[in-house]
Structure 1
Amino acid sequence: MKQSDFWDRMNETFGPTYARSVASDHSLGQLGGRTIDQALSEGENAKAVWMAVCRAWPERVPSRLVR
């Protein structure tokens, strides 16, 4: 997954403003306690980060985007 695809999914799921807040403010256990921004900047695969988002917010992510 390209990072641009990742951000498209984040924006669709949370809205553009809240997506940025989620990415910078929430530490995820599945990312080793890192934020989304930290994980991506440290070279974590965008698909792996997206799947962590899907697991952290299952009620929020549209089912068609969980892949």
Structure 2
Amino acid sequence: MVDMLGRLLRRRGGSAGHYDGPVRETELWERLDKHLGPAYSRVWAEQNVLPGLGRTVREAIADGVSFKRIWLAVWEALELPAAER
């Protein structure tokens, strides 16, 4: 039970530690919205080729790239703080 609670807290950004599990598509869009705003994040995802992927977020999703890998490329491109990784 404690382990399950710890996983839940990590997933939601709680104090049980840094969550290092997979990123889901919904979480990817939530993170993009947080940093770019809901309207601009969609435009940005369609128009900006990420150096780490050689394609846009939308293209990477369509090509089946893992959401975690996409987020790491976004994180790097936006030069976000380590806490957002």
Cα RMSD, aligned residues only: 1.2
State the identity as a percent: 32
Is residue 39–residue 49 contact of structure 1 (8 Å, CA) maintained in 2?
A: yes
Is residue 13–residue 62 contact of structure 1 (8 Å, CA) maintained in 2?
A: no
Structure of higher RCO (CA pairs closer than 8 Å, 6+ residues apart): 1
* Counterpart residue identity of residue 30, structure 2: D
More helix by share: 1
Number of corresponding residues: 63
Alignment TM-score, normalising by the size of structure 1:
0.85
User: What is the CA distance between 1:29 and its match in structure 2?
Assistant: 1.8
Correspondent of 2:37 among 15, 27, 48:
15
User: What is the CA distance between 1:62 and its match in structure 2?
Assistant: 5.2
Alignment TM-score, normalising by the size of structure 2:
0.68
Larger Rg: 2
